[in-house]
Structure 1
């Protein structure tokens, strides 16, 4: 499996979710299964089947998170020498040259991406187009909606 790039914050959130699933959610589900067994016949026991389904989901998510953390390449952007280049983890300000709209994004791992908070995946068309570019470079981004042209205004290693 390839190494999965992840910021320190992304790894922290996955570890917190893993801790919650193992220490809180898993015991809750086990208790729900035990209670449902007391109702008798398991073939027609909706509570039991629901709890088992939750257990399968929880255990699957635990395995998924553990695999991601094992295969992660955690990158602390503050420890990377500042260069005037877009790399994983930077915060970048860009201007859409078609609409003059300015936006600021942070390039993060797939699990951390949340467009609502201006966190874009390193695998998104925008981030892939920006990686390796410098301040004031003009970049064409190919998206399902067509080509959009951006100018890189600022790159911050935060």
Structure 2
């Protein structure tokens, strides 16, 4: 269980879509690029051939990475869990920063799903680690690289 990777249902689906794309679209494109580059002659000095082979290596590495993650994932669908107001993996948390007096909402997700521009933060981030287990109206002191920040938990949703 220790090497299980927590993942939301949406995150797992996104990885499946990427895997399908790599296998059905990128692989054939790369094979065609290699075949085309071979026709140009001497492979020792053929930059197109070497670039295509390098791209093939990256693609195959990503395929293996995704397959490993999916086979070792623990998919957690918070919509099927009764909301008791506690911050857990997959929950969406509205926070009030007591210093700046601003509210911000984060969705706590797996490492591969994290995207700060969309307010999806990794469960392994300092903010998420400081929030997990807390409940609505709790105050959490979160230690970040920029210093300690005090957040009040305004709401917790399992959506």
| TM-score normalised according to structure 1 size | 0.98
Q: C-alpha offsets along residues 79-133 of structure 1, whole Å, 9 cap, x if unaligned?
A: 1122120000111100000100100111010000000001010000000000000
Q: C-alpha offsets along residues 6-34 of structure 1, whole Å, 9 cap, x if unaligned?
A: 00100010000000000000000000000
For 2:83 and 2:144, locate their aligned partners in 1 and report how far apart those are by CA, in whole Å.
Answer: 29
Matched, 1:113 2:114: yes
Once the two structures are superposed, the pairs formed by residues 85-104 of structure 1 within 5 Å of their partners are: 85-104=86-105
For 2:81 and 2:129, locate their aligned partners in 1 and report how far apart those are by CA, in whole Å.
Answer: 19
Aligned length: 158
Structure 1: stretches of 5+ with no match in the other structure:
none
Q: CA deviation at 1:48?
A: 0.1
Q: C-alpha offsets along residues 35-71 of structure 1, whole Å, 9 cap, x if unaligned?
A: 1111111000000000000000000000000000000
For 1:119 and 1:17, locate their aligned partners in 2 and report how far apart those are by CA, in whole Å.
Answer: 19
Structure 1 residue aligned with 2:5: 4
| Structure 1 ranges of 4+ moved more than 6 A | none
| TM-score normalised according to structure 2 size | 0.98
Structure 2: stretches of 5+ with no match in the other structure:
none
